[in-house]
Amino acid sequence: MQEVRNRAGVPPIRQPMNQDQASTSTAVQRAQSADPSFYLSAPALPDPGPTCWRDGDRLVTPHITVLPHICVRCGQPASKRVSVKLTWHSRWWYLLLLLSLWVYVIVALLIRKKATLELSLCEPHARSRRRGRRAGWATMIAGAAVLFVATPLALALGLLLIVAGAIAVIVTSRIITAHRMDDLYVWIDGVHGSIVRRTPSIR
């Protein structure tokens, strides 16, 4: 039933749906009941358009970009979407580490540039990433548990496991990296060549 309002402010009246409208509504309801993901389906993401370029073997995109629905690691059909946040600052700022770690951390947080990309992974690469992250977290938890033994050897081993686990989580979580950024664009390392070659050259 559809509601129709008139300009005189008369309460809305209901008009019966015709046969075609009723059939369409019934078909949609049945599809949604049979498949809950029916109403969540979306068209395939487009290929990189004129807002993406290649610079050598690097992909150049705006700071907020959706990459095509193919695996960025191997160029094969993808099964999982991942949102990746990238940060970057000039390497010269690392010289602040010679002065103080905390000075570097504060300055880096203030001057870093940020980008957010939505990309895709195939099932094997997504599975490998999940396993690596889980192994890293398990290693850190084991290291924290060893610390409770409260012996010098246990403390050293526990700290070593925590550091190793943290490094494993960081490395396995990293899919792509920012080579550099300016105020508008980010130069990305790690995107498969089949994706990069499909974009126009920046030069």
Chain segment 187-197, per-residue pLDDT in tens: 999 999 888 88
- Do residues 75 and 193 make contact, with C-beta atoms less than 8 angstroms apart? yes
Task: Read off the pLDDT band of 83 (50, 70, 90).
Answer: very high
Structural domain boundaries in the chain: 2-40, 53-196
- Classify residue 117 as exposed, middle or buried by CB count within 10 Å of its CB (0-12, 13-18, 19+): buried
Which residues are CB-contacts of 195 (< 8 A; sequence separation ≥ 6)? 48, 59, 67, 68, 70, 72, 75
What is the structure's pLDDT at 203? 65
**DSSP assignment string, 99-132:** T-HHHHHHHHHHH-EEEEEEEEE-HHHHHHHHHH
Chain segment 90-129, per-residue pLDDT in tens: 999 999 999 999 999 999 999 999 999 999 999 999 999 9
- Do residues 63 and 116 make contact, with C-beta atoms less than 8 angstroms apart? yes
Chain segment 157-175, per-residue pLDDT in tens: 999 999 999 999 999 889 9
Using alpha carbons, select from 66, 59, 71, 61 the residue that is nearest to residue 45: 66
What is the structure's pLDDT at 202? 75
Chain segment 138-164, per-residue pLDDT in tens: 999 999 999 888 788 888 999 999 999
Chain segment 23-73, per-residue pLDDT in tens: 444 443 443 444 433 333 334 444 444 578 899 899 999 999 998 889 999
